[in-house]
Amino acid sequence: MSVATLEQRAVSPAAEEAGRIVVKDVNRIFRQEAGPDVIALDQVNLEIEPGKFYSLLGPSGCGKSTLLRNIAGLDHVTSGEITLDGEVIDGPHFLRGLVFQQPTLFPWKTIEQNVATGLEARGILKEKGHEVQEYIRLVGLEGFEKVYPHQVSGGMAQRASLARALVNHPKVLLMDEPLGALDAFTRMQMQEEILRIWQDRGTTIVFVTHDIDEAVYLSDKIVIMTPRPGKIQEVIDVPIGRPRNRNHPDFWRIRSHILKIFGFSPEHAESYQI
Amino acid sequence: MALSQPAPTGISEVQKKPFPIKNIVTSLLPLLLLALFWAEHTLLPDGQMFTKRRYLAESFPFLMGLYLVTFGASFYRKDFHEKLTYQAPLIAGVIGFLMLWDVVTLKLGLLPLPQFPSPGAVIAALIADAEVLFVSIYHSLGLLFGGYLLGLLFGIPTGILMGWFSSVNYWLSPILRFIGPIPATAWIPIAMVVFPSSFQASIFLVALAAWFPITIMTWSGISNVSNSYYEVARTLGASTRYLILKVALPASLPSVFVGTFMGLGSSFATLVVAELLGVKAGMGWYVSWAQGWAEYAKVWAALFVMAIIFSGTTSLLFKVRDRVLVWQKGLVKW
């Protein structure tokens, strides 16, 4: 029994200590040839604590994805800086794993080869290759190792892309609406999976979403962003224990607070009596 | 364990009726056509005189025996039997066509000689000139593979460099656009002077013919790779080298293969024309030499051999593609 537990835990979370992200005075302006400049990020300041689950929540155009892409190093800030554990981010790095809305698996690679991509790219496939199987098991894709991406469902593909990001032992896992393309049921199932993996690994997670329920259900902290110009409105603490109940009054309290910020709570709502 | 019983076989036995009578009749069609052809060939009076046809007349019993053996063997393998049943009408059709050809030429003399010999004459030419034909095939294959591989060897890297580095693209794409569309065969007069031997000149021409489409399609494939693949790879720690060789190249392979097929086609054309004009060996040379002696049976025989070589090479490339692009199965209909 204990042996089995040890085996399941063989992927040690030791490597993912730390993972503190500091966003300081960040501006990101997209210059357009026609039309006015778009201020995607306006004077954004944020400190993300290690090991915590953060959500960036807001309507489209609020700059949440731009902020995430800048943390990933795929985009460059116009001014200000972003640091991870004190080091300035100026390009992508395998310690900052990224999961997109679309699984973006490489169609010419099997699930197993896709998961192994990070190790292959870093030239350590030989030494660390055995971990690939552990991550495939972690996301529940045993038996699908030799299968090509077009042969699996959207949910399974997204699991594979999660495993692909995790295989590098990232300090931070950046997720850009990773469940946006899934149906409601698969989505809830994947939320559980992500929580389980996060609790197992202890990685800092920055999770972009426009789904309020999803943000409240998953996060330790919710960063509320508003558009035009994209800026942080408020950072909300979610002091609810896990597993969370979507129908608990505490859950609804936070939910209605967020709705109010976005102006979706009328002052004089009808009271329904059924 | 001791209680385990053998699995019941009843179900499969009920379903088993592997050789329906309709299939058997269908797969006997070629035999029927062969018999008809044989009767037609031996019983009808000849319209053309002085044609060699010994081999065809003698081959009928042999061909019928061969087909009978194949037919009998098919009862041992169900999949082979199904394949034979599927192919049988086509084989019968080919035999029927040959018979019609024989009637129109040898028996009725409707087509002019020597340009349109009977099938028997072509077969006779094929067998009589087998030695020369083999040498020609050997020469042509050497030219074809040498030139084509050279075209691949230069075409794919050129395409990759052009797709990846805008500076390479800046200098090479005008050259490619300007010179590429010239048919490689138009270079024959220049190539024959520049290269010390006509063999080398031909290798160059075939390589050039293959190089152009392969480069274009590799280039276009690389430039159309979705940016998100690069972004994913970069967040996973990929170097530029990895991005080129392990992301851009495999992602553009479907397009590269389109180029290889186009290149193969123009290689064939260039090969034959180069041999017609300059080289003193090979299939193209054989065709023009036979024509010079007005031996049209040999020309037809050579065309037949070329069809086999070129279609064989093309199917070989199809096999390679199916192997390499196995991940596309189900993704793309082909």
Name every chain A residue with its beta carbon within 8 A of the beta carbon of B247: 106
pLDDT at B310: 92
Q: Check CB contact under 8 Å for A74 and B231.
A: yes
Q: Work out the minimum CA distance from A38 to partner chain B, whole angstroms.
A: 22
* A85 and A24 co-located in one domain: yes
Q: Are B297 and B125 in contact (CB under 8 A)?
A: yes
* A50 and A82 co-located in one domain: yes
Secondary structure class of B256 (helix, strand, coil): helix
Query: Looking at per-residue confidence, does B13 or B306 come out higher?
Result: B306
Name every chain B residue with its beta carbon within 8 A of the beta carbon of A74: 231, 234-235
pLDDT tops 60 at residue B7: no
The torsion region of residue A80 among left (phi > 0), alpha (psi -120 to 50) and beta comes to: left
pLDDT at A37: 86
Query: Looking at per-residue confidence, does B29 or B13 come out higher?
Result: B29
Q: Check CB contact under 8 Å for B235 and A106.
A: no
Question: Predicted confidence band at B332 (pLDDT cuts at 50, 70, 90)?
Answer: low
Position B17, amino acid? K
* A176 and A151 co-located in one domain: no
Residue A203 belongs to a domain: yes
- Tracing tokens 């998961």 back to the chain, one arrives at A115
Structure tokens at B95: 């035999």
Question: Predicted confidence band at A4 (pLDDT cuts at 50, 70, 90)?
Answer: very low
Q: Work out the minimum CA distance from B256 to partner chain A, whole angstroms.
A: 14
Rg for chain A, CA atoms, rounded? 20
Query: Looking at per-residue confidence, does B63 or B329 come out higher?
Result: B63
Q: A166: nearest CA in chain B?
A: B236
Secondary structure class of A113 (helix, strand, coil): helix
Name every chain A residue with its beta carbon within 8 A of the beta carbon of B238: 117, 121
pLDDT at A2: 41
Residue A271 belongs to a domain: no
Across A119-133, A165-179, B3-17, B125-139, least confident range: B3-17
Q: A70: nearest CA in chain B?
A: B235
Q: Are A167 and A112 in contact (CB under 8 A)?
A: no
B242 in contact with A, Cβ within 8 Å: yes
Question: Predicted confidence band at B333 (pLDDT cuts at 50, 70, 90)?
Answer: very low
Question: Predicted confidence band at B311 (pLDDT cuts at 50, 70, 90)?
Answer: very high
pLDDT at A19: 84
Q: What is the span of the domain harbouring residue A90?
A: 16-95+170-184+191-262
Give the mutation candidate from A95, A101, A117 for the B interface (greatest B CB count, under 10 A).
A117
pLDDT tops 70 at residue B15: no
Q: How many CA atoms lie within 13 A of A257 on its CB side?
A: 17
Across A262-266, B81-85, B243-247, B258-262, least confident range: A262-266
pLDDT tops 70 at residue A3: no
Q: Work out the minimum CA distance from B15 to partner chain A, whole angstroms.
A: 31
pLDDT at A267: 64
CATH code, domain carrying A39: 3.40.50.300
Q: B246: nearest CA in chain A?
A: A121
| Mean pLDDT confidence for B221-232 | 93
Q: Are A208 and A177 in contact (CB under 8 A)?
A: yes
Class of domain B130-326: mainly alpha
CA B150 to chain centre: 19
Query: Looking at per-residue confidence, does A79 or A273 come out higher?
Result: A79
Q: Check CB contact under 8 Å for B234 and A107.
A: no
Q: Work out the minimum CA distance from A228 to partner chain B, whole angstroms.
A: 26
Residue A52 belongs to a domain: yes
pLDDT tops 70 at residue B9: no
Q: Check CB contact under 8 Å for A121 and B238.
A: yes
pLDDT tops 80 at residue A73: yes
Burial (CB count <10 Å: 0-12, 13-18, 19+), residue A250: middle
Peptide bond into A229 cis (omega under 30): yes
Q: Work out the minimum CA distance from A91 to partner chain B, whole angstroms.
A: 9
Find the chain A residues whose C-beta atoms sit closer than 8 A to any C-beta of B.
72-74, 91-94, 96-98, 100, 102, 104, 106-110, 117-118, 120-122, 148, 150-151, 161, 164-165, 168
- Please, what is the angle between helix B130-164 and helix B198-223, to 10°? 40
- Tracing tokens 């009328």 back to the chain, one arrives at A266
Condensed to tens digits (0 to 9), the pLDDT of residues B183-212 reads 988 998 898 899 988 888 989 999 999 999
Dihedral sign, Cα of residue B87, residue B88, residue B91, residue B97: negative
pLDDT tops 60 at residue A8: no
* A74 and A195 co-located in one domain: yes
pLDDT tops 60 at residue B272: yes
Strand A221-226 with A204-209, pairing: unpaired
User: End of a domain among A139, A169, A199?
Assistant: A169
Q: Work out the minimum CA distance from A127 to partner chain B, whole angstroms.
A: 16
B233 in contact with A, Cβ within 8 Å: yes
Q: Check CB contact under 8 Å for B235 and A98.
A: yes
pLDDT tops 50 at residue A5: no
Q: B237: nearest CA in chain A?
A: A94
pLDDT tops 60 at residue A273: yes
Q: Check CB contact under 8 Å for A72 and B228.
A: no
Q: A101: nearest CA in chain B?
A: B228
Q: Work out the minimum CA distance from B208 to partner chain A, whole angstroms.
A: 30
Total beta-carbon pairs less than 8 A apart between chain A and chain B:
73
Q: Work out the minimum CA distance from A68 to partner chain B, whole angstroms.
A: 12
Secondary structure class of B20 (helix, strand, coil): coil
pLDDT tops 50 at residue A10: no
Q: How many CA atoms lie within 13 A of B199 on its CB side?
A: 9
Q: B225: nearest CA in chain A?
A: A106
Q: How far is CA A18 from CA A172, B49, B102, B108, in A?
A: 9, 97, 86, 94
* A144 and A200 co-located in one domain: no
| Mean pLDDT confidence for B116-129 | 88
Residue A228 belongs to a domain: yes
Name every chain B residue with its beta carbon within 8 A of the beta carbon of A109: 250, 327
Across A250-264, B38-52, B102-116, B176-190, least confident range: B38-52
Position B202, amino acid? S
The torsion region of residue A237 among left (phi > 0), alpha (psi -120 to 50) and beta comes to: beta
Question: Predicted confidence band at B24 (pLDDT cuts at 50, 70, 90)?
Answer: confident
Average pLDDT across chain B, whole number? 87
Phi, psi of A90 (to 5 degrees): -135, 30
Question: Predicted confidence band at B23 (pLDDT cuts at 50, 70, 90)?
Answer: confident
Q: Check CB contact under 8 Å for A104 and B232.
A: yes
The total domain count for chain A is 2
Condensed to tens digits (0 to 9), the pLDDT of residues A78-109 reads 999 999 998 899 899 999 999 998 999 999 99
Q: Check CB contact under 8 Å for A92 and B231.
A: yes
Contact map slice: B 17-46 vs A, CB within 8 A: none
Condensed to tens digits (0 to 9), the pLDDT of residues A33-45 reads 888 888 899 999 9
B324 in contact with A, Cβ within 8 Å: no
| Mean pLDDT confidence for A189-215 | 91
Average pLDDT across chain A, whole number? 86
Query: Percent of chain B, pLDDT > 70?
Result: 92
Domain ranges (residues) in chain B: 19-128, 130-326
Q: A148: nearest CA in chain B?
A: B327
- Choose among B242, B327, B330: nearest Cβ to A108: B327
Query: Looking at per-residue confidence, does A235 or A15 come out higher?
Result: A235
Question: Predicted confidence band at B11 (pLDDT cuts at 50, 70, 90)?
Answer: very low
* A141 and A223 co-located in one domain: no
Condensed to tens digits (0 to 9), the pLDDT of residues B316-328 reads 999 999 888 988 8
Q: Check CB contact under 8 Å for B235 and A165.
A: yes
Nearest Cα residue to B24 out of B76, B91, B72: B72
pLDDT tops 70 at residue B167: yes
The complex scores an ipTM of 0.85
Q: Work out the minimum CA distance from B222 to partner chain A, whole angstroms.
A: 15
Name every chain A residue with its beta carbon within 8 A of the beta carbon of B330: 150-151
B328 in contact with A, Cβ within 8 Å: yes
* A83 and A196 co-located in one domain: yes
pLDDT at A270: 65
